[in-house]
Amino acid sequence: MDIFGSRIFRNEVHKEQHQQRIEAIKTSTERIPDAVETAYIPSGATEPGATPKFLIAGLGGTLLGIIAAVIAFYLAVGVFKIFEEVGRCLIWLYYPGVIVYYFCPVLVAVFIGLSIGWAGKWARSRRPSQAAIVSVFWALIAAGVTFFYVEDIIIEAAFDYWNVRDCLCGDSLSPDLMEGTMGWIVKGLIVVFNLVIAPLIASAEIGAQKFCEECKNYLEETVIARVSIHNLKDLLMGLLEGDEERFNKLKLLPDKEAWTDKDERLDVIHATCPCEKTHFIEVMSYWVEVTKKGKKEQESQENRLIYSEEFSPEQFNKLKLLLK
């Protein structure tokens, strides 16, 4: 019996996904199940003044991105210079040079996407498409500005700064890949890529900022329980099936001041707003993955969202008691 009663499903597909998740967790032999997407779906509502705020954020992102690109250029040419100083012409540095040249406009596009995404709460927009459109606008301007002005100026300035012009082996530091027809084709592809990446980042960020349309506030997230990673199936099945027995088996971890990604655990996160009509429960898993590389063992810290559902106030109150 599901102690949480009838679930909040957005649609039939969502209902089906819930059932599939139960089956997948039951039969899974993986230590950590696949990631899930957040159950929150932005309403699409927005407020007057959101577009100008997104435009300002996009300008900020463009400027920050260009600063980052300048630093990347200077560092790349500096590394080249160091190898020249010790008398080694490494032709492979030719390729990193090309990569940096094309990487910089992408860097600017990423900064635009992030800045507009982060401005979501300031603009109070729950419309990912609005953020996406402004991102496309800035990505287009930024790509043009960086390709036509910034890069040429900065490449020259960086070469002058480090006092390098040609490789010791006689190759030019401005490789063919950056000029001519080939250069234009690559530039075109980068622009297309930027026009996709910037809005993707911005709209994903907007979609992740949970908002209550009842009281018009953003939801605040708190960790309401920390559970041993050995209880993963019990916690997930408890939440998915509303199985009380599963909750009784949980080993809740004591609170300590600073948790790091190295501490394996399951965080039960509760998101709610001042009117307390909207609730989301999510589970974030933190674990250390050990992979063998030859004889060496490598440790990496991982985290993944493995559960996300909307709860009614009644369902949340039940859960609160179960996690005590």
Candidates 22-30, 117-125, 205-213, 252-260; binding stretch for Zn ion (CB under 5 A): 205-213
Q: Is 170 helix (H, G, I), strand (E, B) or coil?
A: coil
Q: How far apart are CA 288 and CA 301, in angstroms?
A: 5
Candidates 82-90, 133-141, 207-215, 232-240; binding stretch for Zn ion (CB under 5 A): 207-215
Give the phi and the psi of residue 308 in degrees, each rounded to 5. Answer: -155, 120
Q: How far is the CB of 271 from Zn ion (least distance, A)?
A: 11
Nearer to Zn ion, 179 or 214 (CB): 214
Q: How far apart are CA 280 and CA 313, in angstroms?
A: 10
Is 214 near Zn ion (CB under 5 A)?
yes
Q: How far is the CB of 245 from Zn ion (least distance, A)?
A: 33
Q: How far is the CB of 223 from Zn ion (least distance, A)?
A: 20
Q: How far apart are CA 47 and CA 119, in angstroms?
A: 13
Cβ-based neighbour number of residue 195 at 10 Å: 17
Q: How far is the CB of 272 from Zn ion (least distance, A)?
A: 8
Q: How far is the CB of 269 from Zn ion (least distance, A)?
A: 17
Question: Cα–Cα–Cα angle for 87, 88, 90, nearest 5°?
Answer: 155
Is 116 near Zn ion (CB under 5 A)?
no
Cβ-based neighbour number of residue 132 at 10 Å: 21
Distances in Å between the Cα of 149 and the Cα atoms of 44, 153, 166 are 37, 6, 22
Candidates 7-15, 191-199, 209-217, 288-296; binding stretch for Zn ion (CB under 5 A): 209-217
Q: Is the separation of the CB atoms in 241 and 22 below 8 Å?
A: yes
Cβ-based neighbour number of residue 95 at 10 Å: 12
Q: How far is the CB of 278 from Zn ion (least distance, A)?
A: 5
How many residues interact with Zn ion (rule CB under 5 A)? 5
Is 168 near Zn ion (CB under 5 A)?
no
Rule CB under 5 A: choose which of 215, 223, 252, 288 binds Zn ion: 215
Task: Please give the residues from 255 up to 284 whose contact with Zn ion meets the rule CB under 5 A.
Answer: 273, 275
Give the phi and the psi of residue 245 in degrees, each rounded to 5. Answer: -55, -40
Residues that bind Zn ion (CB under 5 A): 212, 214-215, 273, 275
